[in-house]
Amino acid sequence: MTGGIRPLRGVWVLGPLALLMTVAAGLWGSVPLLVAGTLLLTAVLGDGALLWWRCRRAQVPPVLRQIEPNPGQPGQAVTVQLRFVDEQRSGTSWMTGDLSEQMPPALSRRANLLATSPAAAAGRSSLSYQVWPPHRGDWPLGPVTAPVVSALGLWWATLVGHSVDQLRVWPALRQLSLPGRGVSPARSGALALVEQRADNALLRPYVPGDDLRRIHWRSSARLGQWMTRAEEGSSARRAWIGLRVESNSDLVAREAAVSLAATLLVSWSDQGYVPSLSVGGQLLTDDYEALLGHLATISSQELARPLVTGRAADLSGLVLAGRPDWSVMAADPVTRGSGGAGGSSRVAVLVNDSDSTATAGLSAAWPLLTVDPAWSLERMGQSLELFWHRQVLGRQ
User: What percentage of residues in the chain have a pLDDT greater than 70?
Assistant: 70
Residue 197 maps to a domain: no
> How many domains, the chain?
4
Q: What is the pLDDT of residues 268-286, one digit of tens each?
A: 887 878 889 999 989 898 7
Give the end of a domain, one of 215, 234, 253: 234
Same-domain pairing of 223 and 307: no
CATH number, residue 305: 3.40.50
Same-domain pairing of 279 and 355: yes
Residue 186 maps to a domain: no
Same-domain pairing of 230 and 367: no
Same-domain pairing of 79 and 136: yes
Q: Count Cβ atoms below 10 Å from residue 298 Cβ, excluding itself.
A: 21
Element (H, E) at 100: strand 100-101
Residue 361 maps to a domain: yes
CB-based contact 48:155 (threshold 8 Å) = yes
pLDDT of residue 395: 53
Same-domain pairing of 215 and 268: no
Domain that holds residue 206: 202-234
Same-domain pairing of 157 and 85: yes
pLDDT of residue 394: 67
Q: Which of 14-23, 83-92, 191-200 has the highest mean pLDDT?
A: 14-23
Same-domain pairing of 154 and 224: no
| Of residues 54 and 47, more confidently modeled | 47
**Burial class of residue 348, CB neighbours in 10 A (0-12, 13-18, 19+):** buried
Same-domain pairing of 43 and 29: yes
**Closest C-alpha among 233, 236, 392, 202 to residue 314:** 236
**Angular region, 86: left φ>0, alpha ψ -120 to 50, beta rest:** left
State the chain's mean pLDDT as an integer. Answer: 77
Residue 189 maps to a domain: no
CB-based contact 329:360 (threshold 8 Å) = no
Residue 177 maps to a domain: no
Q: Count Cβ atoms below 10 Å from residue 68 Cβ, excluding itself.
A: 10
Same-domain pairing of 380 and 255: yes
- What is the Cα–Cα distance from 389 to 144, expressed in whole angstroms? 52
**Closest C-alpha among 353, 307, 321, 194 to residue 256:** 321
Q: Tell me: pLDDT of 312 over 60.
A: yes
Residue 188 maps to a domain: no
Average pLDDT for residues 323-351, to the nearest whole number?
Answer: 62
Same-domain pairing of 221 and 248: no
Integer CA distances (angstroms), 108 to 16, 68, 359, 387, in order = 39, 17, 42, 41
pTM value surpassing 0.85: no
Residue 149 maps to a domain: yes
CATH number, residue 99: 2.60.40
Same-domain pairing of 248 and 220: no
CB-based contact 82:64 (threshold 8 Å) = yes
Residue 337 maps to a domain: yes
Same-domain pairing of 241 and 386: yes
Q: What is the pLDDT of residues 257-272, one digit of tens each?
A: 999 999 999 888 878 7
Q: What is the pLDDT of residues 82-130, one digit of tens each?
A: 887 765 544 444 454 567 788 898 887 666 665 443 334 444 567 788 8
